[in-house]
Chains A and B, each alone.
Chain A
Amino acid sequence: MTIQKKLDRVKFSIFSPEMIRKMSAAKIIIPDTYDDDGYPIDGGLVDTRLGIVDPGLRCKTCGGRVKECPGHFGHIELIRPVIHVEFAKNILFTLRSTCLSCHRITTSKSQLQEIVKEVEKEAAEEPPIKVSKGKSEVAYAATEDSGVPALDSPEPLAPQEKKAEEKPKRVKKEPKQSKKCQKCGFDLIDIKLLKPTTFTKGKETMLPSEIRDWLAAIPDDDLRELGFDPVYSRPEWMILTVLAVPPVNVRPSITLETGERSEDDLTHKLVDIIRINQKLEANINAGAPQLIIEDLWELLQYHIVTYFNNETANIPPARHRSGRPLKTLAQRLKGKEGRFRYNLSGKRVNFSARTVISPDPSISMNEVGVPKTIAEELTVPMSVTDWNLDSCKTYIMSPEYPRAIYILRSDGKRLKVGDTEELRKQMAEDLKVGWIIERQLVDKDIALFNRQPSLHRISMMAHEVRVLPGKTFKLNPVVVSPYNADFDGDEMNLHIIQTEEAQAEARYLMKVEGQILSPRHGHAIIKPQEDHVSGLYFLTKDDTEFTKEDVSNILYRIGITELPESDCKGGKYSGKMIFSLLLPSDINAKIKSKLGEEIVIQKGKLLKGAIESRAIESELLEKIFILHGPEYTRKFLDTVTILALEVISMSGLSVSLKSYSLSKKAPEELKKLTDKLNREIDNLIIQYKNKTLERSPGLSLKDTLEGLIMQATAKAREDVGRLVEEDLSISNPSIIMAKIGARGSLLNAIQMSAIVAQQAVRSKRLARGYRGRTLPYFKPGVLTGKERGFVFSSFRKGLTPYEFIHHAMGGREALVNTAIRTARSGYMQRRLINALQDLIVYPDLTVRNADLSIVQFVYGGDGKDPVYATKAEVADFAKQDDVDTA
């Protein structure tokens, strides 16, 4: 066992020039990388002292090879100091808070206290906006009170991370502060920052060296007041005199197919910096005119600015030869593809697999079918103990599939299991308790199964492995809903858990059977769906009877081997009786079904009514889960779904074009209804034109008309709905499916068989396209049904060309909305999770933040788990001795 180190904290500070020199392995002086032989130049940007990226070489600093050497920093001595752009604002604050002459904070002690007091008072009165942590309030107060307006126009914002505005500051009604230093009486001069790095003192431009001297002269006591730490972050370090050169590991060059080398963006930038630095040095030494020196200095400043952040406002980004902007330090860290979100908050893993999913109703919902090829590739560590020594040896001895691949000795050495029989035999004999073997995946191993987007915790659940033939992951269709998966080509990920502790946690906390009830609302989320519901309905319908032979087959499939007694005439068996065989005896229910009839279950026997989606879900599943626990419920679900599928395979359920043809007399009725609608619309339009239409409050006359017409069309569709329902009758499969909640809705049947009805964009009738009409085919200004998107045809009959376009207009809006919605809700969820992720319940039922501040005194006001709290029986029970409801 290795001793694990635990990081306690991470401290941030500014590197001092001394520090940079101290940690530097090489002073970089040559603005070039490799020589003509392709060997790194000494003192160049890929000096071998900075570590190595080419195989075959050894690092001059640590002697390590490619994977051993972690890389070492180098440094560049800048001939003239240069401002670090990202600190420009901090520099400005500091300059404004201190005196040009005595370098002390300009406000006097008493004045400071006054300001602090006022700030506190204001904070008490008005909700304060927190000042950035660590920086003392004094510093902010002082800077803002110097009478200078806050930073001018906010910089143009980068697209993804926009509004990188600084923290809102307190604006004071302070009497205008005298423009004199309170300590030495010196007249203060306005310091301004011209973005990004030019500072002006009155009308004069300040040189970085001047600023650096100023900052360096601020006494330590005042630094502390300003929020700096004299040891870790001194303001003068915000102006660079030495530039750290990152190790080559950070900016590896890549060799193209042509053998050409291509350097990293950072290396390019560093080349520029060294080159200008040298030029500047040469010019200074040669005694060049001040103007030229300042120009070069400025250029050096530009290169260093873009080296840190190539998206700095107000300066053109440095570009690659191809014209692509360079990706420099800030760009590497920022945003979705940046170091933080891409590599640190989300990490790549081993022991995982991904492939297409397909349904397999014959495996348990707790299982996942893993292709053999994947099972051979993935391994699970297995500790060798006295109890499993023999089975471990078998794994090692085995030449094929369930075999061990590695042996980890207790001294940490990793051995590959040999490929000859003698070798394996030898290794098996040598195997000792306390070692670990890594064997291939076998049945009953635990694995995490996941489908993106992982919107809730049940997007990732633990399944037991079941190695099956084929090349896809198999899963029981009953678990698709938590993953929101279907089988039209969806892929899913599998992760094999590598430690025993984690395996145990997964088994106890993440198993599918434990997630039947959703944490969102406490209702079943894993439940019979679609064909399961239809099957159960057909099974439990009043007239369903089976012969002895059929019953034997069905019962065999669900693992019941004893034939019950026949309960119908002629030795037949009723479906209700068969269904009841699966129910536990303590289930009682009396509910009204979706079909309007009564469902009665007594002592686990279905006496009356046919099962539909709501009954199975709320009356059976949830009750069984609460009363009998996850494992029982899983078994129930597994058998009930098999039973349902067995039944529906026997009875069959299909729809055809005929299922949506109405009877002979229906078209007439339909015509009557559409005529009525047309008359109504005409009527309304006449009233509108005559201005006799009564205006609804708060609406224009036009909007009133539109509203009324929409109401009329909605009503017409309802009327047609009733007609269709009657005409197609309950024996129509699509109506059955809609009514029992298996799939589809009545609306689907209406649209296919009778009328598609009103199309709308933004919940209004169609009104876009041409002036006063949707298509040039129509007369302008006509407001009747068909002109404004009412589709009189049915899908079965087919749409007229203009109806087709109208339908597509409505359809397009739906598509656009979905696209926008996913993006917006994704961002909202990211924000929500980020804001709430540290909130956890403590054993005293308080909900606290990471800093232990209390958010709720009792979770949810009652300390109950949402999953169980909604369960009436249990909740009632708990009410008797409620702990504490705040």
Chain B
Amino acid sequence: MTTKKQFQVSITPYEAVGVVAAQSLGEPGTQMTMRTFHYAGVAEHVPTGLPRLIEIVDSKKEPKKPLIELYLKSSYARSASQAEEVARDLSSVFVSEVATVEDDLSDRTIAVIYNEKEAKGLGVTFAALKKAIELTYPNIKVLDNRIIIQFGKQKKKTSGEEVDVSLKSIRKTTNKIRETVVKGIKGITRAVVIRDNDEYFIRAAGSNLVGPIEHPAVDQTRIYTNNIKAIEKVFGIEAARNSIIREIKQVMDMQKLFVDIRHIMLIADAMCFSGTVKSIGRHGLSGERVGVLARAAFEETVKHLVNASANSESDNLIGVTENIIVGQTVPVGTGKIKVAIKSKKSK
């Protein structure tokens, strides 16, 4: 009795689980909305639904709207104000937020004017501002609440003669200074404190995992981002696999489309089993298929055929597409098994 039920529940051998998983994710794709999701405060248009699903499957270097979730150690997580402080500590403040940056092209100077009112609110002192700028531009003068950068001569690369720094590059530098981070962690912006039951956590835009991990208040064990590649880099392939599963599941759940977790797991595993996260498509899994014919039938037909002949490759016809092309039984499901029957004559 037990064995009978058990047998029924198990997956059938040679079942084409890959195709079923692909269909289970692809078919609801047509029903998904393109809506973006609004996370309170952080990033307005976080893609959900189909665009996000495509993003995950493509395994882009960075999602369109990277997000990071930082849970805090219990001593910080209980009070909103403490969490708030950590958030302020983490989120990066740009020079343009605490100071006005102006360039004077006739003088060949850039003036950074400290804006006390704004800066105090963000917790940036004049000294901090000065230090941040000094890091890249050591030649500065300070006048009251102004920091002035004077541009002089520059050695020309080719001839070695001294020339004035071009006005174009001064402009460029001005913009660069505006975007210099004065405080906080690079790549983490707009941190917002959110209440989750009886604790507070921080959600911010960005996916710099390394910075926050080093922060004393952050609970390293619960740090999370929607940037799968970043997770892979910092926490390894297993973590990346889990995050793919989690992200896909989240997309499907949000649309109220139910997909069995096994299908999602298979897709995540297919993307990760080689040891690195590979995308689904011509630059990833499909481009690395063993069969020449299968690759040629997918995309970049001519390229695959030409390279195959230059390298005198063989296609051993082990896949599905290859066998369809040559007109043979596909090695999947019942095509994998043979039935032998004893004929009447041979007793």
Contact = CB atoms under 8 A, between A and B. Distances in A.
A865 B12 contact: yes
A836 B26 contact: no
Interface string A520-553: 1111000000000000000000000000000000
Given A127-B276, A832-B57, A861-B265, A840 B18 contact: yes
Interface stretch (B112-120, B121-129, B145-153, B319-327): B319-327
In the A-B complex, the 6 residue pairs with the smallest Cβ-Cβ separation, listed nearest first, are A839-B18, A829-B26, A825-B29, A860-B262, A836-B18, A697-B41
A334 B297 CA distance: 9
A13 B307 CA distance: 9
Nearest to B42: A698
Contacts of B8: 868, 874
Interface string B32-62: 1111101011111000001101100100000
B340 interface: no
B312 A134 contact: yes
A836 B325 contact: no
Contacts of A877: 2, 5-6, 9
Contacts of A880: 2
| Chain B interface, DSSP helix/strand/loop, else mixed | helix
Contacts of B223: none
Interface residues of A, number: 106
B290 interface: yes
Contact of A520 (B9, B192, B263, B328): B263
Contact of A824 (B11, B44, B50, B312): B50
Contacts of B167: none
A869 B260 contact: yes
A522 B260 contact: yes
B275 A838 contact: no
A820 interface: yes
B317 interface: yes
A860 B326 contact: no
Given A521-B260, A828-B26, A697 B192 contact: yes
A455 B27 CA distance: 5
Contact of A161 (B54, B286, B299): B299
A837 B18 contact: yes
A58 B181 CA distance: 82
Contacts of B298: 834
With most chain B CB atoms within 10 A of its CB, the pick from A8, A166, A520, A881 is: A520
Given A9-B314, A835-B284, A841 B13 contact: yes
Given A134-B313, A232-B312, A344-B325, A843 B13 contact: yes
Interface in A811-869: 817, 820-822, 824-826, 828-829, 831-843, 845, 847, 850-851, 853-856, 859-861, 863-866, 868-869
A858 to B, nearest CB: 9
Interface string B289-317: 11111101111111101111111111111
Nearest to A822: B30
Contacts, number: 331
A334 B298 CA distance: 10
Nearest to A311: B302
B200 to A, nearest CB: 14
Interface stretch (B74-82, B169-177, B266-274): B266-274
Given A86-B306, A133-B313, A840-B336, A864 B23 contact: no
B302 A330 contact: yes
28 contacts: A10-B293, A10-B326, A11-B313, A12-B308, A14-B310, A90-B310, A127-B276, A133-B311, A161-B299, A340-B325, A345-B297, A455-B26, A521-B24, A698-B43, A825-B50, A828-B26, A829-B26, A833-B26, A835-B22, A835-B280, A836-B270, A836-B280, A840-B332, A847-B269, A850-B290, A865-B12, A866-B260, A874-B5
Given A763-B36, A841-B12, A856-B269, A344 B305 contact: no
B5 to A, nearest CB: 5
A213 interface: no
B105 interface: no
Contacts of A315: none
Contacts of A822: 30
B19 interface: yes
B267 A703 contact: no
Contacts of A167: 287
Nearest to A335: B301
A300 to B, nearest CB: 21
B326 A7 contact: yes
Given A11-B313, A865-B11, 15 more contacts: A6-B328, A7-B328, A8-B317, A11-B312, A90-B307, A309-B302, A341-B297, A344-B297, A345-B324, A455-B23, A839-B18, A840-B15, A845-B11, A856-B269, A866-B263
B318 interface: yes
A520 B23 contact: yes
With most chain B CB atoms within 10 A of its CB, the pick from A130, A232, A521, A822 is: A521
Contacts of B322: 10
Nearest to A843: B13
B26 A520 contact: no
A831 B25 CA distance: 11
Contacts of B54: 824, 828
B13 A229 contact: no
Contacts of A838: 18, 289, 318-320, 332
Contact of A14 (B17, B25, B309): B309
A834 B15 contact: no
B260 A863 contact: no
A457 B270 contact: no
Interface in A72-124: 86-87, 90
Given A520-B28, A840-B17, A10 B307 contact: no
Given A698-B192, A837-B319, A839-B266, A238 B310 contact: yes
B270 A233 contact: no
Interface of B: 2, 5-6, 8-30, 32-36, 38, 40-44, 50-51, 53-54, 57, 190, 192, 258-263, 265-267, 269-270, 273, 275-276, 280-282, 284-294, 296-303, 305-322, 324-328, 331-334, 336
Contacts of B303: 164, 166
B314 A12 contact: yes
A234 to B, nearest CB: 10
A216 to B, nearest CB: 16
With most chain A CB atoms within 10 A of its CB, the pick from B57, B282, B310, B311 is: B310
A455 B270 CA distance: 21
A12 B331 CA distance: 22
A853 B301 contact: no
A843 B192 CA distance: 51
A864 B18 contact: no
Contacts of A338: 301
Contacts of A699: 41, 44
A859 B10 CA distance: 9
Contact of A874 (B9, B15, B44, B324): B9
Contact of A13 (B266, B296, B309): B309
Contact of A821 (B34, B266, B289): B34
A729 interface: no
Contacts of A334: 301-302
A14 B313 CA distance: 11
Contact of A12 (B32, B42, B312, B334): B312
B14 A340 contact: no
A294 interface: no
Nearest to A844: B13
A135 interface: yes
Contacts of B315: 9-12
Nearest to B19: A837
Interface in A313-367: 330, 333-335, 338, 340-341, 344-345, 347
Nearest to A836: B18
A605 to B, nearest CB: 27
A836 B21 contact: yes
A301 to B, nearest CB: 18
A262 interface: no
A12 B192 contact: no
A505 B325 CA distance: 22
